[in-house]
Amino acid sequence: MGKPIWIKYAAQLVTMASSAKGPRKHEEMSDLGVIEDGSLWIEHGVVVRAGSTEQLEQHFANRAHEAEIVDAYGKLVTPGLVDPHTHVVYGGTREQEFEKRLKGINYMEIMNAGGGIHATSRMTREADEDELFEQSFARLDSFLRHGVTTVEGKSGYGLNLETELKQLRVMKKLNEAHPIDLIPTFMGAHAVPKEYKGREDDYVNHLIDTMIPRVAEEELARFNDVFCEKNVFTPEQSERILEAGKAFGLIPKVHADEIESYSGAELAARVGAISAEHLLKASDEGIAAMAESGVIACLLPATALYLREEAAHARKMIDAGVAVAISTDCNPGSSPTTSMPLVMNLACISMRMTPAEALCAATINAAFAIGAEEDAGSIEAGKKADVVMWNVPNYQMLQYAFGVNHVASVWKNGLQVV
Ligand code: NIG
Ligand code: FE
């Protein structure tokens, strides 16, 4: 493993180090562990020490000559961003649907008519593993160029055993081949496949009796996610699927209250989900229940914008004591983007999160939402050296000058990858 890397003179080093233990809530979300004139020593792929340049000059006085020096003068340095919710592995694209929606046909109408998730499911079933791998590899490259070093990815465009396994195996290969850490979620319950129309419970039974046990046996996923939504899976069906996953060690996640209020947040709290996603229409009771059980809200403001819906009520959730994370929701229908910086901008603009809260939600809270907090989400001794240097002098500027990619350089496990 080459020389140590010493990043010096950063105008601001945002470490996200804090005395708070779990996912950050309330004002903890604004405590970014900022060091002015910051410095960072990386060795063997991990962070050895972060502090002011003066402190590190003293500490490493005898070893300074060994290191490769990176001059971060005038720049912001942060942890690598974490995207805790994507559907990054899929076949085909759906640009025609985008146009239909602009002409007034809504997302669920398109899906119920056999488009939407069903269209991507057809294209994903047709694609072979190599095609899926290549398409998704390119998307992961794009994530990396936008400062993202850890990504969660869901299956859910197979909707049959064979193709769900294919998607998850592609994710496993991508995780090995690409610098990004890709953390897999099984989402066989993304839609009821057309061949089960009118026999929805048969598909639920198939998920429970066959697909979940097989995914667990092959150790292809850490989480089990369900699209709990009117005309997709009911709260009762969702609960059965999530409880079945728990019995096999799969941790629940829920796509909850996205299009209509459907007690998805309440369900997430009841089953002890690690996170609940979307939550545009979450009820006050649901938000209170999430706070009470420690469910992280994973909010997706790019999806809300793209579907021309009002964004989730982040302020209400933060005030209620829910830890908030944010994500691209990268998928071919409701959010074809890989830009976490844009998502941070939108968290501020459409959800009135502060610039500090948005950065917290895209780093340490996002890491907690996918159980990656030991490795990712902050710059602290012993953690992976996943680091981004930005062409702006402070974190406020990152959120203020919006829609622009400010990334200067990215290190993953201490290797410069951008
Ligand atoms: O999280 N809402 C459900 N699932 C995805 C969209 C999937 C698609 O349209 O292909 C989401 O937004
Ligand atoms: Fe999603």
pLDDT, tens digit (0-9, with 9 covering 90-100), for 33-59 = 999 999 999 999 999 999 999 999 999
Tokens of 190: 């993304």
Q: How many residues belong to the chain?
A: 418
SS3 12: strand
Q: Is 84 in the pocket of ligand 1 (CB under 6 A)?
A: no
Residue 384: name the closest of 79, 144, 45, 147 by CA. 45
Q: pLDDT tens for residues 286-298?
A: 999 999 999 999 9
- Structure tokens belonging to residue 119: 């269209």
CA atoms within 13 A on the CB side of 307: 24
Closest ligand relative to 256 C-alpha: 1
Ligand 1 atom nearest to CA at 277: 1
pLDDT the model gives residue 143: 99
C-beta separation of 377 from 97 below 8 A:
no
> By C-alpha distance, which of 156, 202, 189, 103 is closest to 330?
156
User: Ligand 2 center to residue 128 CA distance, Å?
Assistant: 23
Q: How far is the CA of 293 from the centre of ligand 1 (A)?
A: 25
Quickly list DSSP for 296-365. EEEE-HHHHHHTT-PPP-HHHHHHHT--EEE----BTTTB----HHHHHHHHHHHH---HHHHHHHTTHH
For ligand 1, whether the C-beta of 332 sits within 6 Å is yes
Any ligand 1 atom below 6 A from CB of 334:
yes
The rounded Å distance from CA 331 to ligand 1 centre is 6
Q: Of the bound ligands, which one is closest to the alpha carbon of residue 154? A: 2
Q: With contact defined as beta carbons under 8 Å apart, do 251 and 279 qualify? A: no
The whole-number mean pLDDT for each consecutive block of 10 residues of the chain, a chain of 418 residues, reads: 93 97 97 98 98 98 97 98 99 97 95 95 98 98 98 98 98 98 98 97 98 98 98 98 98 98 98 98 98 98 97 98 99 98 98 98 99 98 98 98 97 98
Q: Parallel, antiparallel, or unpaired for β 5-14 and 34-43?
A: antiparallel
Pocket test for ligand 1, best of 255, 327, 337 (most atoms within 8 A of CB): 255
Per the CB < 8 A criterion, the answer to whether 50 and 15 are in contact is: yes
pLDDT value, residue 2: 86
pTM to 2 decimal places: 0.98
Dist. CA 149 → ligand 1 center (Å):
22
Of ligand 1's listed atoms, the one at least distance from the Cα of 117 is: 10
Whose C-alpha lies nearest to ligand 1, atom 12?
334
Residue of 257, 307, 329 to mutate, ligand 1, most atoms within 8 A of C-beta: 329
Residue in 317, 183, 336, 148 with CA at minimum distance from that of residue 253:
183
CB of 152 sitting under 6 A from ligand 1: no
CA-to-CA separations, 398 to 52, 76, 344, 389, in angstroms, rounded: 21, 9, 9, 11
Distance 329 CA to ligand 2 centre (A): 5
Position 1 scores a pLDDT of 59
Query: 286: Cβ below 6 Å to ligand 1?
Result: no
Ligand with the closest atom to the CA of 333: 1
